Chains A and B, each alone.
Chain A
Amino acid sequence: MSDKGKINTIDRSVIENMSVETLRSLLQDDFNAVDGILDTETLLYATEVLSRKENRVNMETPNLEESLEEFKQEYLSQTEKTEHLCDAPNRCERQIEQFEHHKSLKPKMKAAMIIAAVVAVMMAASITASAMGFNLWDTIVAWTRDTFGLTEQIDESENETPSQLGRLRDVLGEYGITGYGRLPTYLPAGYEEENTQCMDLGEFTVFSCVLGNGENQIILDYRQYMSDDDSVVYQKDDGELEEYMAGGINHYITSNEGKYLCVWIDESIECSISGVDSREELIKIIDSIYGEKK
């Protein structure tokens, strides 16, 4: 999501002279608009001024050092613990039971209901956004987690995982996500594995593989959620959201900061591929997941 088209012309003296109420209202409006109305610098400046003015009326900000320490101890240490755990092969058994349990959760909604809900959300949001002067198709899809259609049986012998994704395949397997053969067999030339990790973030676990070619990075994320309430939102550029059907599954394609990304749901796992240079390359990657050649 870029700052293109956002307000960046508010004179700093104007912001300086705004009342606390006006500043709060400005920031609230920015939050309410799905793509925001202020560019990053203006937003940060407005929060700085608001903070200064609120301090005068005794609104205290938490201590930075304490917050950072707390973050490292309570949040970061947990993440790193899991990363290290999963960096070591065959040491991920800890959560297999957790995933087996989750895999057995019954689907809450049928595919048709989900499609209807997504369409309804998009339509309602479009109307609201249009009224506000925003094009919501330029925003983020509200995700539900479930399959969007019937998937095809895959002959895994034909789905040969590239060596760059070998660790990702192994980690998924170690987490009991066996039989999950939906990794691409095609990757753009020159990309090597830079980092593969799994992180338990409490409400979901993300299996992530970063591929790099020295200049660019492609990231494959597979998210396993612990509840039906959880989901992730994705950032994107201005522009249409494209639906692309492959393997009986709807894939949502868009771009972010000029790179292409795709998000889809397969057997309760939310999958995304981001950072791809072109739409054509992304389509090739998607098709290779299902052994499709077009």
Chain B
Amino acid sequence: MDIEQSAFVEKIYREMFKQMYVYAYNILGRPGLAEEAVQETFIVACSKADYIMNSESPKGWIINTLKNVIRNMQRKMENLNKLVIDSLPLEDYIVGIGRNDDYTDVEYSDMISSEEYLLLKKIALQKYSMMEAATELGISVEACKKRVQRAKSKLREIIESN
């Protein structure tokens, strides 16, 4: 983004943050997730700054994008929630897989560590936002997203193979 686009996005952020947060909170029911929805919306806005600046209704575009972001978040949360719930009966096997001598022939890279599993459970069951999880782990939001993604893929593979 150039300076003009950055200034435009920041202006809209300032103008709409509170209302967007209230809208998202009303739907998602968690402060961290609501703020994340707003920030994710503005990530999309940054990638489309040119387009929004020329839009007839920048605020309308932002609100529609916020709704789409919330729907995506809900869908992902539902998917992750289902995956974690499906994995709960296998928890001892999944997390203990690296320590159990019976499974020493399984490659470690395909296993999910207890830390990874705990991270998924916090996000799926305790509705942590990425920012909350990242802060707790002392890593960036971006790193946290990637860690969640990797853990999710591993868990899915383990569930599917069982």
Q: Which of B17, B63, B75, B152 contacts A64 (CB 8 A)?
A: B17
A75 at the B interface (CB under 8 A): yes
B50 near A210: Cβ-Cβ < 8 Å: yes
**Interface residue B111 (Cβ < 8 Å from any Cβ of A):** no
A194 to B2, CA, bound (A): 12
Query: By the criterion CB–CB under 8 Å, are B47 and A217 in contact?
Result: no
Q: Which residues of A contact B13 (CB under 8 A)?
A: 68, 71
Question: Residue A28 contacts which of B26, B31, B46 (CB distance < 8 angstroms)?
Answer: B26
* Contact between chains at B19 and A48 (CB < 8 Å): yes
B65-73, B85-93, B96-104, B116-124: which lies at the interface = B65-73
Report chain A residues within 8 Å CB of B61: 235
Q: How far is the CB of B133 from chain A (nearest CB, A)?
A: 12
How far apart are the CA atoms of A232 and B63 in the complex, in Å? Answer: 15
Chain A contact residue count (CB 8 A cutoff):
55
CA distance A202 to B150 in the complex (A): 12
Given contacts A24-B26, A68-B10, contact A74 B18 (CB under 8 A): no
Q: Does A203 contact B (CB under 8 A)?
A: yes
Q: How far is the CB of A51 from chain B (nearest CB, A)?
A: 4
How many residues on the B side are at the interface (Cβ–Cβ under 8 A)? 56
A201 cross-chain contacts in B, Cβ below 8 A = 43, 47
Q: Is the interface of B mostly helix, strand, loop or mixed?
A: helix
Complex: how many Å from CA A230 to CA B75? 9
CB B76 to nearest CB in A, in angstroms, measures: 6
B141 contacts A275, C-beta separation under 8 Å:
no
Q: Cα distance A76–B140 when bound, in Å? A: 12
Cβ-defined contact, B149 with A227, below 8 A? yes
Contact A206 B67 (CB under 8 A): no
How many contacts A-B (CB < 8 Å)? 139
A85 at the interface (CB under 8 A from B): no
A28-B47 in contact (CB<8A)? no
Q: How close is A292's CB to chain B, nearest CB, in angstroms?
A: 28
The answer for the CA separation of A31 and B37 in the assembled complex, in Å, is 14
Instruction: Enumerate B33-84 residues with CB–CB distance to A below 8 Å.
Output: 35, 38-40, 42-43, 46-48, 50-51, 54-57, 59-61, 63-65, 67-68, 70-72, 75-76, 79-80
A54 to B29: give the CA distance in the assembly, Å.
13
Choose the segment among A39-47, A120-128, A148-156, A161-169 that binds chain B (4+ C-beta atoms closer than 8 Å). A39-47
The answer to whether A44 touches B16, judged by C-beta atoms less than 8 angstroms apart, is yes
Distance (whole angstroms) from the CB of A205 to the closest CB of chain B:
11
| A78-96 Cβ-contact flags toward B at 8 Å (1 or 0) | 1110010000000000000
B67 touching A36, Cβ below 8 Å: yes
The reply to whether the CB of A229 lies closer than 8 angstroms to some CB of chain B is yes
From known contacts A67-B38, A229-B79, infer whether A47 and B149 are also in contact, taking CB-CB under 8 Å.
no
Report Cα–Cα, A216/B38, bound state, in Å.
28
A98 to chain B, nearest CB (A): 9
Asked whether any CB of chain A lies closer than 8 Å to the CB of B125, the reply is no
CB-CB contacts of B137-162 with A at 8 A, as 1s and 0s?
Answer: 00011100110010011000000000
Asked if B131 is an interface residue, CB under 8 A from chain A, the answer is: yes
A1-B64, A195-B50, A202-B145 are known contacts. Are A79 and B43 too (CB-CB below 8 A)? Answer: yes
New A-B pairs, 8, CB < 8 Å, besides A201-B43, A235-B64: A36-B63, A47-B22, A59-B25, A70-B39, A71-B13, A83-B1, A235-B65, A257-B55
Lowest 9 A-B CB distances belong to which pairs? A202-B145, A47-B19, A40-B60, A233-B68, A47-B22, A74-B141, A51-B22, A78-B142, A71-B39
B residues contacting A by CB (< 8 A) are 1, 10, 13-14, 16-23, 25-27, 31, 35, 38-40, 42-43, 46-48, 50-51, 54-57, 59-61, 63-65, 67-68, 70-72, 75-76, 79-80, 131, 134, 140-142, 145-146, 149, 152-153
